[in-house]
Amino acid sequence: MIGVDPAEYSKSRRCAGCRLPPSLCICDQIEPVETPFELILIQHRSEVRSVSNTGTIAAAALEPSQRIIYEGTSNPRIEAALAGDGPSLLLYPVPQAREISPADLEPGTRLVVLDATWRQARRMYRKLGPLRGCRAVTLPAGAAPRWVLREQPSPGMLGTAEAIAAAMDALGCTDEAAGLRRTLDLAMPRALHALAKITLDEALDPNFRACAPAPPPYPPEQEEE
């Protein structure tokens, strides 16, 4: 049995590299994948220590990549990340988005991904002006999830890392996508184990939350609009 101490699974103990509990950390097994584009992962604060988050692992595996925490309307890091030459492909299904294809892969291409719930992503898109200067793209129809760690708005929708892998396939980076999926296949059983352990602890011990260490030092999200 792994990690019998509930504190092992608390949010404050999660690995900063892979966001899994320390006993389940896969950081030394993440397969580095070089890509002909830069991944810009804009991550909502609530995803930073979520065991069901997969964007962090994708950002750790892909090179080059940047993982930027969403901090509201103004974020100089996001503006700087999107400012270079080459197109910024925003993987987000706005009405004007079109299906991503190998023709989108140009020198200096950036793949911009919002790592958040759909509701949070809608707010991020509305708040972050630089995103509206990106080329919005969608995944080809038919990409099916291999791993489902959280409920999606409709069946067949992909988690962040699997969506990135599907976009890589569509760009023609199939070998690189396979490398990312190999890392996910290592990480996801551990994430499922952690989710099951956390759920069981909370179900069996009504004081679990009260006994857990203090939450991470992130300010509560401002309620917006």
18 lies in the site for Zn ion, by CB under 5 A: yes
What is the smallest separation between the CB atom of 131 and Zn ion, expressed in angstroms? 29
| 25 lines the binding site for Zn ion (CB under 5 A) | yes
Task: Give the binding range for Zn ion (CB under 5 A) out of 3-11, 19-27, 59-67, 127-135.
Answer: 19-27
Under the binding rule (CB under 5 A), the answer on residue 51 touching Zn ion is no
Task: Return the structure tokens found at 102.
Answer: 């190998």
> Is 15 a residue that touches Zn ion (CB under 5 A)?
yes
The Cα 89–Cα 216 span in angstroms is: 32
Of 196, 35, 221, 21, which is closest to residue 117 (Cα–Cα)? 221
Q: Using the rule CB under 5 A, give the single segment among 20-28, 52-60, 104-112, 209-217 that binds Zn ion.
A: 20-28
Query: How near is the Cβ of 59 to Zn ion at its closest, in Å?
Result: 13
**Smaller CB distance to Zn ion: residue 18 or 128?**
18
The encoded tokens of residue 221 equal 């999200």
Cβ 19 to Zn ion, closest distance in Å?
A: 7
For 146-151, the CB contacts below 8 A with 24+ separation are 146/181, 146/184, 146/185, 146/188, 147/54, 147/184, 147/188, 149/52, 149/54, 149/188, 149/191, 149/192, 149/195, 150/52
Q: Is 17 in the site for Zn ion (CB under 5 A)?
A: yes
The answer to whether 47 touches 67, Cβ cutoff 8 Å, is no
Binding residues for Zn ion, rule CB under 5 A, total 5
Q: How far apart are CA 19 and CA 203, in angstroms?
A: 22
Give yes or no for residue 27 binding Zn ion (CB under 5 A).
Answer: yes
CB-wise, 14 or 181, nearer to Zn ion? 14
- Cα–Cα distance, 118 to 106 (Å, whole number): 28
Using the minimum distance from each CB to Zn ion, give the nearer residue, 57 or 111. 57
Q: How far is CA 171 from the centre of its chain?
A: 19
Which CB, 18 or 81, lies closer to Zn ion? Answer: 18
Q: How far is the CB of 81 from Zn ion (least distance, A)?
A: 24
Q: φ and ψ at 188, to 5 degrees?
A: -65, -40
Select 122 or 182, whichever has its Cβ closest to Zn ion.
Answer: 182
Binding site for Zn ion (CB under 5 A): 15, 17-18, 25, 27
